[in-house]
Amino acid sequence: MTRGTFANIRLANKLASRIGPQTLHIPSGKEMDTYDAAMKYASEGHSVIVIAGKEYGCGSSRDWAAKGPYLLGVKAILAESFERIHRSNLIGMGIVPLQFKKGENAKFLGLTGKEQYTITIPNDLKVRHLLKVTLANGKNFEVICRIDTEVELTYYRHGGILQYMIRKLIK
């Protein structure tokens, strides 16, 4: 299932030259299978984010749609908007959904996906908190953390719903 993540032919990875589960490994510039790139990033100690458009997750509210990115090492999804159930499922897997501010998107901000991102998540994170994203070139912008409820915040702080339940059971 992990290798099939992002394999839908309707998904357009703007970093890849062909359709399918392909991406560009940064900084090597080598185009490769998304799974292979994710494993390479993990072996290099790098976290992965996804930059997306509108209604990210639309069409599949199944939990695998969130498990796949989790297993690929995705830590955050930065999108214009989210499908409601999928947004919640991402949090349940410990992936933080980040939304561009109104009127902003990757194109507006000049983001290509080749940048190195630092996302500052404070220890006192609150529901719908504004977070700072800093690029390696010094440019920064704010995004909305789409953790919308206190329950979701609790799950996220524990790394996801499974980790939360395990901790609760062993107490």
- Report the pLDDT averaged over residues 50-69: 86
Using an 8 Å Cβ cutoff, are 117 and 49 in contact? yes
- Report the pLDDT averaged over residues 142-151: 98
Is residue 145 one of the residues assigned to a domain? yes
Using an 8 Å Cβ cutoff, are 98 and 147 in contact? no
> Got the DSSP string for 64-100?
HHHHHHHHTTEEEEEES-B-HHHHHHHHHTTPEEEEE
Q: How many Å apart are CA 151 and CA 50, to the nearest integer?
A: 24
Asked whether the predicted pLDDT for residue 5 surpasses 70, the reply is: yes
Per residue in 9-37, pLDDT (tens digit) is: 878 899 999 888 999 999 899 999 999 99
- β-strands 74-79, 48-51: how paired? parallel
Asked whether the predicted pLDDT for residue 114 surpasses 80, the reply is: yes
Identify the pLDDT of residue 61.
Answer: 58
- Report the pLDDT averaged over residues 145-152: 98
Which among 137, 133, 130, 105 is positioned nearest to 118, based on CA atoms? 133
Please name the helix (run of DSSP H) or strand (run of DSSP E) that holds residue 48, with its range, or none: strand 48-51
Domain that holds residue 108: 47-170
Please name the helix (run of DSSP H) or strand (run of DSSP E) that holds residue 116, with its range, or none: none
Using an 8 Å Cβ cutoff, are 128 and 146 in contact? yes
- CATH number of the domain residue 122 falls in: 3.20.19.10
Overall number of domains in the chain? 1
Identify the pLDDT of residue 60.
Answer: 60
- β-strands 22-25, 30-33: how paired? antiparallel
Asked whether the predicted pLDDT for residue 169 surpasses 70, the reply is: yes
Identify the pLDDT of residue 68.
Answer: 94
Is residue 17 one of the residues assigned to a domain? no
Q: For the chain, what is the mean pLDDT?
A: 94
- Note the pTM of the prediction, 2 decimals: 0.94
